[in-house]
Structures are given as C-alpha cells and as structure tokens.
Amino acid sequence: MKLVFAGTPEVAVPALDALIASGRHEVAAVVTRPDAPAGRGRRLVASPVAERAEEAGIEVLKPLKPRDPEFLERLKEIAPDCCPVVAYGALLPKVALDIPAHGWVNLHFSLLPAWRGAAPVQHAIMAGDEITGASTFLIEEGLDSGPVYGTVTEEVRSTDTSGDLLTRLAFAGAGLLAATMDGIEDGTLKAVPQPADGITVAPKITVEDAQVDWAAPALRVDRVVRGCTPAPGAWTTFRGERLKLIQVTPVPERTDLAPGRVAAGKNSVHVGTGSYAVELLWVQAQGKKPMRAADWARGVRIAESETLGG
C-alpha cells in the first residue's frame, strides 16, 4: 500500500522505521507537528519523526492544523491507501479521515478499551496494572473508540517507569503496526468493535497530578513516582521549595515514621507514608542536577523533625 505516516515524538520513530524497513509498503510522506522551540536558546527544532523522515528522503508535511486546506489538498494528491498513526498529537477532522481508502490506523499504547486517552502508560503504572500492551485500531471521531485490528501484551515490571515501559511498547508496537498494514493490504485482517465493558480513560498527567501525597500508602507513592518519570516528574516540597522525586523504593519493614516525616541516615533517606516507609534513591532539588538522595540529605542537613510535603 501507499502510506502516509503521522507521528511526532521519539516514541513514534520505531514504527516509522519498521514500515520503511518492511519493503512491502511505500511510505510516501510523513505528517508531523510543526517545528517547536527547544533548549536554552529556544530555537525551532524539527520533531524526531521529521528528522528521521528527512534522513530517509521522505516528504515531510507540517500543517499547523490537519484541517488546513493546503495540507488536505496535498494529502488528496498523494492519495494514500492508509495512514498509520503513532502519537501525532493533533485531532484529525473527518475530512482528513475520509481521504485514505483504508482510513487512519492508530497504534495506541494500551489494551483497548482500557486507558483511552493521552497518557495510557502513565495511568497503567499508577493504577498498578500488571499487564498492559498496545493496540492498533481504526480512528473514528470518538476518543480512541474505533474498532481494533490487533494487540500485543507487555508485562509491567515492578521497577518500570513510564519511560521504560513506553520504550518497550514502542518497539513491540512497531511490529504490530507493520503486521496490521500487511493484514489490511491482503484482506486477512478485519477490525473488531471494542467491548462496551472495561472502558477506562487516561487524560494527560498534569503537574498537580504528579505531586506526591505522603498520606497515601507506600505502594501508591512508588507508582506515582514511576508513572510520572520522566514526565511530568513526581515532586514534593521541602522547606518551601519543590523537590523532584526520580526514584524511590518501598521499605515494608519500617513503620515508625509518620506520613512525610524524613529520617536521614549515613547512606539512606527514609520517608513515612500512610502505610510503611519509602526510601528516596534519586532526587533533584530546584536549580540542581539529579543526585543520590543520601548526598542531597547531607547537603541540606535535615533536622530530626523535618517533613516533606509541608
């Protein structure tokens, strides 16, 4: 088939690579978000998908909005059979959805209908899911509600951050998306409507969502930290300033600390929760680089009665 691939961030690049490498389909063009300011100089930088497409000599389309008339006209000229999508980042209007004969097929990082929305991996970790995965589905106007072509499952490991899990799903999902294109082309794959039961939603995680509640159980604190790493970053406050929490681990044997109470030893920092303590392993103070929590604690000289989270 002739394909137009839509995607923007680094997590979409493995799928683009898989489609290019398959040799079975032609990736005629790539649709991605416009260049965005990045770095200290805030200069405009092309998306990872745009950079990969340019390396491969593929035409890159960067509409401000996918309903822009110039973009829609160019898409009609290319006349793709199908448009595979991974984390494009913009809502597709019906006029665009109707152009390819086989529609737009999205690779979504959950087992639909679980975790429809912008942050499925983060929510899966924060909810304590043991199994997650990726799904390919035909995009319709509802939120991730279209019929599903295929799925692949992935175990959620006890130490996974959302970054770790998303990286594995990006590669597993790339193979699924390529196989979905093959099945659509040869007519062996039909999309199946999603069940009405088991629908959960995964809205974007805000900075407020990423604030740790020390009155919550230790397992919840651990899941929030892992689910919000690397973005938007779990945090608490210490002496009125924000402290980013990069890695913690539950310590079930320590139950003597009140929620938020800090106990700094020579080589460890424990904090009380609503159940038992967690050990802070890596933190980042405002204006500082990430550091081991024990080094941070020595630097700030934590008093015996101090707490995190105010």
Structural domains for the chain: 2-202 (3.40.50.170), 207-300 (3.10.25.10)
**Residue 305: CB partners within 8 Å, gap ≥ 6?**
261
Residue 96's contacts (CB-CB under 8 Å, 6 or more residues apart) are 66, 67, 71, 72, 75, 104
**Rounded Cα gap, residues 170 and 133, in angstroms:** 10
The closest alpha carbon to 31, from 82, 18, 149, belongs to: 82
Q: How is residue 158 written in tokens?
A: 């006890």
Residue 42: per-residue pLDDT: 85
**Cα 233 to Cα 245: distance, rounded to the nearest angstrom:** 7
**H-assigned helices in the chain:** 13-22, 48-55, 69-78, 94-97, 120-126, 162-186, 218-227, 293-300
DSSP tag of 192? B
End-to-end CA distance of the chain: 58
pLDDT in the model for residue 41: 82
Decide: 181 and 25 in contact? Cβ < 8 Å.
yes
Q: Is 107 annotated as a binding residue?
A: no
SS3 content of the chain, % helix, strand, coil (to 5): 25, 30, 45
Amino acid in position 49: V
Cα gap 66→268, rounded to integer Å: 51
CA 163 to chain centre: 7
Triad 87, 88, 91: Cα angle to 5°: 115
Low-confidence ranges of the chain (pLDDT < 50): none
pTM across the whole model: 0.94
Tokens found for residue 51: 């950079």
- pLDDT value, residue 304: 85
Q: How high is the pLDDT of residue 195? A: 95
**257 is annotated as contributing to ligand binding:** no
pLDDT at 38: 84
Place of tokens 């550091």: 291
Pair 48, 12: CB distance under 8 Å: yes
User: What pLDDT does residue 29 have?
Assistant: 98
The values of phi and psi at residue 74, to 5°, are: -65, -40
Tokens matching residue 188? 């062996």
Q: In one letter, which amino acid is 35? A: D
- Establish whether 166 is an annotated binding residue: no
Task: Tell me whether residue 110 is annotated as binding.
Answer: yes
Q: What pLDDT is attached to residue 285?
A: 97
pLDDT of residue 39: 80
